[in-house]
């Protein structure tokens, strides 16, 4: 290549053209991959999904023993209306000897927490379309492909990688509600085989595995799925029934003759409540403690994180400046001991039962 003054003047323009061409090629490649996976899964014609899953969950931080991981039986019935953005999620945890029931419904406008025991229901901001199923639908790859189709503009990264010895397309989807997803599509089959919910905390990374893909009613889905968290067992689908485009409006109707639940307390701000002489209930959001003034200091019970903030709030409320003498540790569950480092820094001695030491 022979350079002259004219050539040198056009070099910046040439560089820009090359950069633009590379970006355009990447965009076209991403678009092509999305078109192919959408076609293979048939989700362009998908209007609704009904899922009935039996699955196991593995509990470490909430287990009966701090040295063991518990296994729990779960049953889920989930209806998803993709067109009108509605979800009906019914969840049974445990077996007939020891179980609990949750029922969340998002009817396209409002979310509801429904109690069949008390025959009441209450509006809940937590029950949005995205979270009404507590993200159980992440265990179904057809839902993931539907999300790719709907959120193509949120694909922030595209690459080709080797996963378990096979080439995969990797798509990173950003800007979803509270989540960033890395989705892996097998280059040969076009099936989604793996997905990560990305986070900076390696111990919290959820990884979904999809296997035994099946074609039914013109739609592809994985019969088998499991998830790990931080590399440890998290959930495993043991029995699955799926139907497509059979959901009806009655699936999203609120139960008749159910009353309205009592209004929930506003937990958005730090609140101090005096229960009795020298006894205070203090907290915000999900973290609350009871503080008891024993004269030369306080006893605290309730070990969620931000103990320091709660302790400062109760001292300001009571107009005293006394140390935290004792911290009662109720049990070993990870959320209830997350504030123990703070209690130690505040100088507290710990009180618990012997088997929890």
| Residues recorded for the chain | 357
pLDDT per position as a tens digit, 216-271: 999 999 999 999 999 999 999 999 999 999 999 999 999 989 998 877 777 889 99
Least confident of 116-130, 182-196, 238-252: 116-130
Confidence at residue 268, expressed as pLDDT on a 0 to 100 scale:
85
> Average per-residue pLDDT in the chain?
90
Half-sphere exposure of 229 (CA within 13 A, CB side): 12
Q: Is the backbone of residue 175 left (phi > 0), alpha (psi -120 to 50) or beta?
A: left
DSSP readout, 192-236? EEEEEE--S-GGG-EEEEEEEEEEETTEEEEEEEEEEETTEEEEE
> What pLDDT does residue 26 have?
54
Chain centre distance of CA 83: 22
Give 25-67 pLDDT, tens digit per residue: 456 689 999 999 999 999 999 999 999 999 999 988 888 887 7
Asked if pLDDT for residue 314 goes beyond 50, the answer is yes
What is the predicted pLDDT for the residue at 10? Answer: 57
DSSP conformation class of 304: -
Beta bridge partners of 229: 206, 232
Mean pLDDT of 130-157: 95
Q: Provide CB contacts within 8 A for 209, sequence distance 6+.
A: 193, 194, 225, 226, 227, 228
Q: Is it the case that residue 188 has pLDDT exceeding 90?
A: yes
- Is pLDDT of 169 > 90? yes
Q: Region 158-173: what's the mean pLDDT?
A: 95
In whole angstroms, give the CA distance from residue 262 to residue 241. 36
Q: Provide the whole-model pTM.
A: 0.79
DSSP alpha helix (H) spans, the chain: 5-41, 141-150, 307-318, 340-345
Surface-to-core class of residue 195, CB atoms within 10 Å of its CB (0-12 exposed, 13-18 middle, 19+ buried): buried
- Between 5 and 229, where is the model more confident? 229
* Confidence category of residue 11, pLDDT binned at 50, 70, 90: low
H or E element at residue 335:
none
pLDDT of residue 69: 86
């Amino acid at each position: 290549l022979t350079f002259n003054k004219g050539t040198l003047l056009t070099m910046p323009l040439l560089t820009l053209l090359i950069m633009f061409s590379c970006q355009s090629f990447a965009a076209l490649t991403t678009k092509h991959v999305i078109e192919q996976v959408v076609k293979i899964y048939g989700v362009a014609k998908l209007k609704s999904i009904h899922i009935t899953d039996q699955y196991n969950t593995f509990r470490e931080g909430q287990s009966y023993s701090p040295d063991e991981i518990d296994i729990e039986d779960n049953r889920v019935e989930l209806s998803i209306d993709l067109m009108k953005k509605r979800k009906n999620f019914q969840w049974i945890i445990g077996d007939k000897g020891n179980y609990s029931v949750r029922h969340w419904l998002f009817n396209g406008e409002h979310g509801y927490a429904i109690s069949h025991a008390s025959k009441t229901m209450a509006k809940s901001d937590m029950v949005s379309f995205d979270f009404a199923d507590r993200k159980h639908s992440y265990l179904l790859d057809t839902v993931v492909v539907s999300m790719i189709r709907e959120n193509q503009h949120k694909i922030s990264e595209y690459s080709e990688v080797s996963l378990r010895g096979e080439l995969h397309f990797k798509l990173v989807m950003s800007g979803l509600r509270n989540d960033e997803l890395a989705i892996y599509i097998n280059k040969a089959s076009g099936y989604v085989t793996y997905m990560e919910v990305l986070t900076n905390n390696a111990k919290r990374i959820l990884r979904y595995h999809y296997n035994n893909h099946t074609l039914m009613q013109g739609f592809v889905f994985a019969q088998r799925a499991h998830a790990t968290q931080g590399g440890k067992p998290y959930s495993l689908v043991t029995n699955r029934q799926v139907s497509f485009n059979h959901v009806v409006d009655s699936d999203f109707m609120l139960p008749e003759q159910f009353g309205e639940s009592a209004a929930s307390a506003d937990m958005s701000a730090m609140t101090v409540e005096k229960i009795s002489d020298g006894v205070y209930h203090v907290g915000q959001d999900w973290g609350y403690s009871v503080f008891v003034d024993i004269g030369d200091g306080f006893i605290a019970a309730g070990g969620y994180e931000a103990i320091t903030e709660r302790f400062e709030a109760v001292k300001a409320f009571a107009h005293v400046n006394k140390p935290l003498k004792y911290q009662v540790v109720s049990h070993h569950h990870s959320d209830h001991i997350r504030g123990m480092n703070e209690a130690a820094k505040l100088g507290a001695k710990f009180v618990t039962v012997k088997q929890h030491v």
